[in-house]
Amino acid sequence: MLKDDFLRITSSYAIDKQLPGKLWDEIMVAHTTSSRYYHTLTHLENLYKELVSIKNVIEDWESIIFAIVYHDFVYDISSADNEAQSAEIAINRLQEINYPASKTERCKAHILATKTHKTAADNDTNLFTDADLSILGTDWENYKEYALNIAKEYARMPMFKLGRKGVMLNFLKMSRLFKTEYFHDKYEAQARNNIQREIDEMLSA
């Protein structure tokens, strides 16, 4: 469980033994606001499930855990710097538990990478951002629920459908959606089918 891993790791660094629980409660509150439909605790748990299955190839598991719980801490559809704000909160919280500076910087890099999902020099970052996109390659019913939840989050944005179509078309133009061989082999083909199907349904609506 993500919560168990987070509390275990945080407790191993924090001097104040009440702090890990307080930090988890803060994470829960941030991800259960009424404006969230996809970027919820379920999304975090799904990332955890994807990555824990390949934990043996991840170099710094602790920093991955912290990236999971903080990468969407700030989620405001009208803001262009959610990732930077989330990274700043992660830095502050990790400093509170006395997490090593070098590992904090690594966690920060993971979070900031979710803005563009470009290939990084750090393979842990690539695995993390690929896991963040893994929903694209799940079965159609699961993908459709994801797309509907994203639409709910952006319901008050008048140009959402046009913007969404543009994002999906850009995905299809990419030579590959997933940077790592593991996620590419697992999800690439289905992801492209799902994205094309979503675009087709937009055009026929």
How large is the C-alpha radius of gyration of the chain?
17
Contacts of 35 (CB under 8 A, 6+ apart): 75, 153
Q: Rounded to 5 degrees, what are φ and ψ at 52?
A: -65, -25
pLDDT per residue as tens, the chain (205 positions):
999 999 999 999 999 999 999 999 999 999 999 999 999 999 999 999 999 999 999 999 999 999 999 999 999 999 999 999 999 999 999 999 999 999 999 999 999 999 999 999 999 999 999 999 999 999 999 999 999 999 999 999 988 989 999 999 999 999 999 999 999 999 999 999 999 999 999 878 6
Q: 123-155, pLDDT tens digit by residue? A: 999 999 999 999 999 999 999 999 999 999 999
Domain ranges of the chain: 2-119, 136-204
pLDDT computed for residue 202 by the predictor: 87
Q: Rounded to 5 degrees, what are φ and ψ at 35?
A: -85, -5
Extract the runs of DSSP E, i.e. beta strands, from 29-184: none
Q: 87-113, pLDDT tens digit by residue? A: 999 999 999 999 999 999 999 999 999
What's the CA gap between 112 and 109, in Å, rounded?
5
Neighbouring CB atoms inside 10 A of 12's CB total 11
Q: Rounded to 5 degrees, what are φ and ψ at 110?
A: -60, -45
